[in-house]
Amino acid sequence: MYVLVANRIYYVDGVNGDNANGGTSWGDAFATIGKALSVAGDYDLVLVADATYSDKNLQFGGKKIYLRGVDHNNAGQRPVIDCRSSGRAFYFNSGEKRDCVIDNFTIKNGSSDLGGAIRCENSSSPSIINCTISNSRALYGGAICCKSSSPSIVNCTFDDNRVDLYGGAIFCDNSSNPSIVNCTFSGNSASLSAGAIWCDNSSSPTVTDCTFSSNTADNYYGGAIFCQNSSNPTLSDCIFNDNTANWHGGAIYCDGGSLTLTNCIFSGNSAANYNGGAIYCNSSSPTVTNCAFSDNSAADFGGAIYCCSGSPSIVNCEFSTNSANESGGAIYCDSSSPKVRSCTFSGNSACYYGGAICCRSSNPTVTNCVFSGNTSNNDGGAVYCCDSSNLTMTNCTFSGNSAKNFFGGAIECYNSSSAALNNSILWGNSAGGGGDEVYPADSGSSCTLNHCCVDSAGYGGSGTIDESNCVHDDPRFVDAAGGDYHLQDTSPCIDAGDNSLVPSGVDKDLDGNPRIVNGTVDIGAYEHQP
């Protein structure tokens, strides 16, 4: 709760004030912030004039004080607390709540082991609004350290903060659950992990309308955000661009938690030497909804997302022009069971396997998706499954994908792996070595096609290909060359699917229109609308 009606008002002016004054007006202003905090009480307002202050370790002492910076001396300016690389600006340790407020300050050059600029502990959860924190240093939490505390952080900017260990901007530990709204994190860095925000030991911040750009984890994980040990952050309407991790998770690294992402954009993030250009998930099951991934890259696997030993849900997302120097241009799954629904994969690439998706010892379920223009230099232009993977794809469309040098223009299965393709279109894909559409490479691998539209001339491989009630005619897309894979009125795919193959709960097509029209489901990702 913010103070709306002040009990008393105190004034601070670092240019013209004097601590011998009473602080009751600008003409009677104190010289330091610390003096005002020492005399203010509950629901008092402290107005701080634009000037540079050197106060350190300022404490509210549990009092409900609203501390507000104003442009008293120069229009458009605000007060600056310069810690001069020695100490932090604020220390909250008396159980402060949201009605303890810091508003409209610049804090710079902080330096402390825990929280270079601000430290919150002992269930202290103040409100920090309209502030800029820059060039501050710490071991943990370059700008803010939260231990068993949940501050509200609104309309703030964090830039060029750095830690020797974890959390370039914010460190959250021991069930800290800050609310972070409309903030910008830019150019923050961690020597080890979490260039911007670290979440540990059941810490689950809520992050809304924030931008993370050019943050780095210099040596390990999570260019922007790192979460582990039952930490479950919720992020919505956020932008992640040009963040970098030296190892895994160019933007986000999640280990053993359940990350929730909604309406987020990931662009140009990079795992410089390993996996997960945008997101790396280990033993976790994130929920990713309505997100866009473009131009993210991984030196090894998973240009956008890398999943290991988890069951992520990925719904209504776009993956375009992501790349992996090894495999899985958009998504790489290792011992995982992702559910991917109503997504588009276009122009993603991998040097070796799976231009869009690569699965190892995994059981993905993919529904209502379009794969177009994805490429691998070797095998599986769109999808590659290996090492006892079992892929199920329903109402998907594959067109214009390419395995440039080897096999499986749309899909390849290798080493005792299987693909069940239901109500799907595979047409116009290419492979340099054969199997333009599907390629079960070995005798232990198989592809089963039920009610699909497929060019049977594109079958290849030494494994088993079984088909039932398939169509072998041109699907008649509206404009395949222009990327429009809706069906023309004369398409043989209309009302040619099998309703029983549509997964339970799937009642919309990729456009959000009814999945079944005229009583029988169409083949492909889009239901024809008469």
pLDDT of residue 68: 98
Cβ(470)–Cβ(451) below 8 Å? yes
pLDDT at 329 over 50: yes
Mean pLDDT of 41-69: 98
State mean pLDDT over 513-524. 98
User: Which tokens is 49 given?
Assistant: 């004039």
Give residue 172's pLDDT: 98
Question: In the block, which residue shows the tokens 């803010």?
Answer: 144
- Per residue in 386-399, is it b (16+ CB within 10 Å) or e — as a string? beebbbbbbbbbbb
Q: How confident is the model at residue 286 (pLDDT cuts 50, 70, 90)?
A: very high
Q: Which residue has the tokens 């270079």?
A: 116
Positive or negative torsion for Cα 488, 489, 492, 497? positive
Residue 97 CA to residue 389 CA, distance in Å, equals 51
pLDDT at 3 over 50: no
Where do the structural domains in the chain lie, given as residue ranges? 1-166, 194-302, 327-530
Mean predicted confidence (pLDDT) in 351-369: 99
By the 10 Å C-beta count (0-12 exposed, 13-18 middle, 19+ buried), 74 is classed as: exposed
Q: What is the value of pTM for the model shown?
A: 0.97
Work out the average pLDDT over 43-60: 98
Residues of the chain with pLDDT > 90, as a percent, come to 98
Rounded to an integer, the average pLDDT of 319-342 is 98
Residue 481 CB contacts under 8 Å (≥ 6 apart), including other chains: none
- Model pLDDT for residues 136-147, shown as the tens digit of each residue: 999 999 999 999
Euclidean distance between CA atoms 489 and 477, whole angstroms: 9
pLDDT of residue 6: 82
pLDDT of 251: 99
Query: Tens digits of per-residue pLDDT, 64-90?
Result: 999 999 999 999 999 999 999 999 999
Reported confidence tier of residue 1, pLDDT bands at 50, 70, 90: very low
- pLDDT band for position 122 (cuts 50, 70, 90): very high
Task: Give the confidence band of 4 by pLDDT, cuts at 50, 70, 90.
Answer: low
- Give me the count of residues in the chain: 530
Q: So what's the pLDDT on residue 530?
A: 85
Extended strands (E) in 122-257: 127-129, 132-134, 137-140, 144-147, 152-154, 157-159, 162-166, 170-173, 179-181, 184-186, 189-190, 197-199, 206-208, 211-213, 216-217, 225-228, 234-236, 239-241, 244-245, 252-255
Task: State residue 241's pLDDT score.
Answer: 99
Rounded to an integer, the average pLDDT of 21-44 is: 98
